[in-house]
Structure 1
């Protein structure tokens, strides 16, 4: 019998292989477990929703968002971009609270970033005094609870600043007192919206010039000037529109009335206290992130940059920070999210943010589920937006591997 015939005979003599049971297949078992877990989550959510609706109906508690169209009946001491009155609706009140939260969060993020970068670099300074002062700032800010810092700043503004009648005249048209900061603003003019559009166009021009400068630097090795051209574009375009529009210079200057200043614009003590607390507290954490990011760059990079004749400032700006950003950005995103969510502590010092407006609306309407759901949805949307932008920026600066 040949070898081929023997192999055929051996194959016929072997018993047929049995199929693997479905419960022993890893992929099938994983799918079954996922379906069961998802089904359990859906069933639990359905039970909670049904139980909530039954309890609300048993207690004759209204549900739905129809109260948004009802008159709010309460005043809000400070609003952003919206002229609000007590006779307006709850929906408009929520919009004011949301805009107030966004205003203090965005300004706080910008200021905290600037202070954090400066303090983080200062901690690495070769000057002993500068490094120690920066270290003291970081340790103090990071180890005192934010709520206590808010109380401190609010108390400092309330007790250390002079009364309204004796307000500090910081500069012409700018006054600081217990009532907050009052400052002059331009009188409304038709050219102002066009100046705003020119400013946006200037931002676009700055982006294009920056890209051109980086491309030219990569091609020639010569770094074009950035500061003066970017400032000229950003300021020059609105200034040109202002000149074409007649160069209006009329200002609405605050003047002291019977009890307070009238005219101009103002920033309340609550907003100042909240902004200072959020800014200095978050900047302490950002300073440590910046310091750690710079130290994570191999020291050989610094030595190589110094060897080719770069000054210390150029080494930091052109070599260390661009590489450190890849380490700095992810934890910085978390601090931005923390700052935004920590703004909800504004209710402790009376700043009318989203939480404060929602609490007042909840007490008046009794619709707790709707008010809490709105707060959760707003903070979730803000946090996801910040995360999306920071993740996009992190991918943009990431090293491209071949």
Structure 2
């Protein structure tokens, strides 16, 4: 038999064994729950939720089904994870460049940021940002006004947004800020904590990748008449980025999984809604299974995207 067919056969047997083990685990769990008179199954997803969600990208009411509530939780998770990943990447690249700067002050500021952020737990970052946003900012009737149409207060960040009649500009009203779009303190605390925490690791990964390049790369660029800045951006950084891509994408996947800590600041993400559903229905195994399956799919999708990016970077070098 050809080696390729042997490998495929072995992989098929492993998959079959895993499926059989999972089926056995599910059957055993269902029988034990039935023996104890505990309801099981996913039929509860079609029952009315019985609770409201304070922050929902979809219209949601208490009489909507629980399946829709889980969909809202998933969208809330993606709503903070995707912008957080983009923000972390941008901040990480900037801080990484500071860490590599020849200027002592810039290099020191980058190092201070990296060490200060990495040496504190992420949960502490989230709680600190939530405290800043809810306790130290002014009330909604006297908000900060840093930019035209932008207001920041204890109630969150109000921004211009497109409405039915065009662009709506928020403005102070009798009971706070009216008009535009609003980002809640819970969302802002989670977004800032996740992005700044992941950015510190991305910056250090980029610094290490550039520092690991042979010194001859710099000398070659200078010998071709490039300036030091041109040598860095045109010669060193592209090579370093290809080496840093796998750990950077892994860090961004971790950011998406760390979004589950939003429950600590009251953000209604998937884990928070699953916890509320568990308390109301008692379906612990089912609720946890849904959360595990969703995060597993998100991680696998991120890993697949990472592999595609790595292959694309490898093709560019060959």
Determine the structure 2 residue equivalent to 1:314: 230
Match of 1:126 among 77, 87, 102: 102
CA 1:41–1:86: 2 relative to 1, 3 Å = closer
**SS of the residue 1:164 aligns to:** coil
Task: Determine the C-alpha separation between the residues in 2 that align with 1:45 and 1:85.
Answer: 36
Superimposed CA distance per residue, residues 231-267 of structure 1 (whole angstroms, 9 cap, x where no aligned partner): xxxxxxxxxxxxxxxxxxx432334444332322100
Match of 1:155 among 131, 138, 141: 131
**SS of the residue 1:351 aligns to:** coil
Q: Is the aligned partner of 1:65 residue 2:39?
A: no
Superimposed CA distance per residue, residues 319-352 of structure 1 (whole angstroms, 9 cap, x where no aligned partner): 1111112210111121011111111000000001
Determine the structure 2 residue equivalent to 1:197: none
CA 1:370–1:128: 2 relative to 1, 3 Å = same
Match of 1:77 among 54, 64, 84: 54
Determine the structure 2 residue equivalent to 1:200: none
CA 1:321–1:35: 2 relative to 1, 3 Å = closer
CA 1:38–1:344: 2 relative to 1, 3 Å = closer
Superposition deviation, residue 398 in structure 1:
1.1
Q: Is the aligned partner of 1:332 residue 2:248?
A: yes
CA 1:36–1:163: 2 relative to 1, 3 Å = closer
Task: Determine the C-alpha separation between the residues in 2 that align with 1:322 and 1:357.
Answer: 42
Task: Determine the C-alpha separation between the residues in 2 that align with 1:114 and 1:130.
Answer: 17
Superimposed CA distance per residue, residues 269-299 of structure 1 (whole angstroms, 9 cap, x where no aligned partner): 0010001110111111111100011112211
**How big is the alpha-carbon RMSD for the aligned residues of Structure 1 and Structure 2?**
2.5
Determine the structure 2 residue equivalent to 1:294: 210
Superposition deviation, residue 44 in structure 1:
5.2
Superposition deviation, residue 188 in structure 1:
2.8
Range 158-167 or range 44-53, more displaced: 44-53
Task: Determine the C-alpha separation between the residues in 2 that align with 1:341 and 1:108.
Answer: 12
Q: Is the aligned partner of 1:50 residue 2:27?
A: yes
Determine the structure 1 residue equivalent to 2:155: 179
**SS of the residue 2:182 aligns to:** strand
Determine the structure 1 residue equivalent to 2:220: 304
Superposition deviation, residue 311 in structure 1:
2.3
Q: Is the aligned partner of 1:382 residue 2:298?
A: yes
CA 1:85–1:303: 2 relative to 1, 3 Å = same
Task: Determine the C-alpha separation between the residues in 2 that align with 1:303 and 1:170.
Answer: 46
Q: Is the aligned partner of 1:135 residue 2:111?
A: yes
Determine the structure 2 residue equivalent to 1:97: 73
**SS of the residue 2:138 aligns to:** coil
Task: Determine the C-alpha separation between the residues in 2 that align with 1:47 and 1:117.
Answer: 47
Determine the structure 1 residue equivalent to 2:260: 344
Q: Is the aligned partner of 1:144 residue 2:144?
A: no
Superposition deviation, residue 143 in structure 1:
0.8
Structure 1: give runs of 5+ residues left out of the alignment. 1-32, 190-249
Q: Number of residues paired by the alignment?
A: 312
Task: Determine the C-alpha separation between the residues in 1 that align with 2:317 and 2:185.
Answer: 51
Task: Determine the C-alpha separation between the residues in 2 that align with 1:41 and 1:341.
Answer: 24
Match of 1:369 among 267, 276, 285: 285
Task: Determine the C-alpha separation between the residues in 1 that align with 2:133 and 2:240.
Answer: 38
Structure number with larger C-alpha Rg = 1
Task: Determine the C-alpha separation between the residues in 2 that align with 1:90 and 1:98.
Answer: 12
Superposition deviation, residue 38 in structure 1:
8.3
Task: Determine the C-alpha separation between the residues in 2 that align with 1:114 and 1:263.
Answer: 30
Superposition deviation, residue 170 in structure 1:
2.0
